[in-house]
Structure formats: C-alpha cells, structure tokens
C-alpha cells in the first residue's frame, strides 16, 4: 500500500515516514501544498495524510481541489488541537477522518488502517483467503500451524493482492502501489516477487493473465 504524507515539519515527517515504512507501507513525502496537490492528483495513492498548515497552498485548498477533480483517495487530515473550525471545514471539504496534533503514532496508524479497511471493505487487521492468513501487524503469513516471515516488499505485494482479490492487476499498477516515488520501479521485479510468493503459497494462488497482469485467489 502506498501513502502520501504531506507535512512541512521535517522532523515529524521523517519520524512518521520511518514508522509507517516499518508498518509495511511505501511512503512518499511532500513538504508544501503545491507539490502535495500535484502528487495526489497524478499518483494513485491508497491513502493520504494531509497537514492543513502547509506552505504555498493550504491543506484545505489542496483537499478541495482534489475533490473538485473527483479524486476519491481517502484523506486523513492533521490539525492543531485547538482548531475545531479546521476539523469541521476539513470534513466538509471531503476529508475522511482527522488526527489532532500532538498525536500518538499508534492512533494515526489505527485511523489510517480503518480508512483503508473501509475503502477495501475488509474487517480487522488479519486478511484471510483460501485458508491463508496475513497478519498486518506482525507481517507474518500463515496457514494452519505453518508460518512464513515475509520481506517488506513481499508483504506489501501480498497485502495489495489480498485487498483486491479476483481483480486483474497489471504490473504497472502493482508497481505504483508497492514502491515509493524514489524507488527503482522496474516492473519486471514484480514478477520475481510474485514467484517468491508462489513458492510459499503454491502456483495456483496467483494466476497470470497473459498481456494483462495477475489475479490473486482465483483458484481453479
């Protein structure tokens, strides 16, 4: 899952990015409203964390412009504790939830996960299909009594597959949602990680659709 973190406080943004990457997310950062609006418009993020006090263009204006363009990416806004007006206006302009500063990272993560679950219509932090279970908190794959630890990329790829079962997912789409902006986005590497998952889960769990991409969970 790929996130945009729009925050101009460098120390906070670095700390949050480090924390979210550890939780298995690919995170791009924007430190001003102009860049944030462009990235949120051009890149298909799974969720956006948006500080309302951005320089160059306010977070409220950025949010309003996204929604005007029919960009429906879930947005979690960051606001000052005593600014209830910002919370109300942010929600009115299309935000999905908010966290007030200062905040605990665990609270932000919980709200972020809730937004993603709501969007993908999943429940809880454990994804399950055909007897397989992926724990989003421990990043461990299991089936019965067996468990497999996954690399960061394996986890991000498998989580995206399990959140979109039965859909044809192209290599380019998977690349967009698994890697950060500055990563080396060679779509051929996706094939390598798909094969790694197949070695753990069996060849039938991920089907190749020639010229189109992959489908997860379409067992014959």
Fold match, 2-120 / 126-216: no
Residue 148 has pLDDT above 80, yes or no: yes
Mean pLDDT of the chain: 90
> Cα separation of 170 and 174, whole Å?
6
Higher-confidence position of 76 and 219: 76
- pLDDT at residue 14, rounded to an integer: 96
For 46-94, the pLDDT digits (tens) are 999 999 999 999 999 999 999 999 999 999 999 886 777 888 888 999 9
- pLDDT at residue 205, rounded to an integer: 93
Share of the chain above pLDDT 70, in %: 94
Contacts of 171 (CB under 8 A, 6+ apart): 187, 188, 190, 191, 213, 214
> Cα separation of 1 and 117, whole Å?
12
Task: Name the one residue in this structure whose structure tokens are 């790829």.
Answer: 157
- pLDDT at residue 141, rounded to an integer: 95
> Cα separation of 207 and 112, whole Å?
30
Class of domain 126-216: mainly alpha
Domain 2-120 has CATH 3.40.50.2300: yes
- pLDDT at residue 185, rounded to an integer: 59
Q: For the chain, which residues make up each domain, given as ranges?
A: 2-120, 126-216
Higher-confidence position of 183 and 173: 173
- pLDDT at residue 219, rounded to an integer: 65
């Amino acid at each position: 899952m790929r996130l945009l973190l729009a925050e101009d406080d460098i120390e906070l943004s670095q700390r949050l990015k480090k924390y979210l990457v550890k939780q298995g997310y690919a995170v791009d950062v924007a430190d001003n409203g102009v860049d944030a609006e462009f990235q949120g418009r051009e890149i298909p993020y799974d969720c956006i964390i948006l500080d309302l006090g951005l320089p160059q263009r306010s977070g409220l204006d950025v949010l309003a412009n996204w929604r005007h363009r029919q960009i429906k990416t879930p947005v979690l806004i960051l606001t000052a504790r005593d600014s209830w007006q910002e919370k109300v206006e942010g929600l009115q302009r299309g935000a999905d939830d908010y966290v007030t500063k200062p905040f605990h990272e665990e609270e932000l993560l919980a709200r972020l996960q809730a937004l993603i679950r709501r969007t993908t219509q999943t429940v809880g932090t454990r994804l399950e299909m055909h007897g397989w279970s992926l724990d989003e908190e421990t990043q461990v794959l299991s089936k019965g009594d067996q468990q497999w630890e996954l690399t960061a990329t394996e986890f991000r790829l498998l989580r995206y597959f399990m959140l979109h079962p039965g859909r044809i997912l192209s290599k380019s789409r998977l690349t967009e949602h698994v890697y950060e902006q500055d990563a080396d986005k060679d779509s051929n590497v996706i094939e390598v990680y798909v094969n790694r998952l197949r070695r753990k889960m069996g060849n039938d769990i991920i089907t190749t659709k020639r010229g189109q991409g992959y489908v997860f969970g379409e067992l014959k």
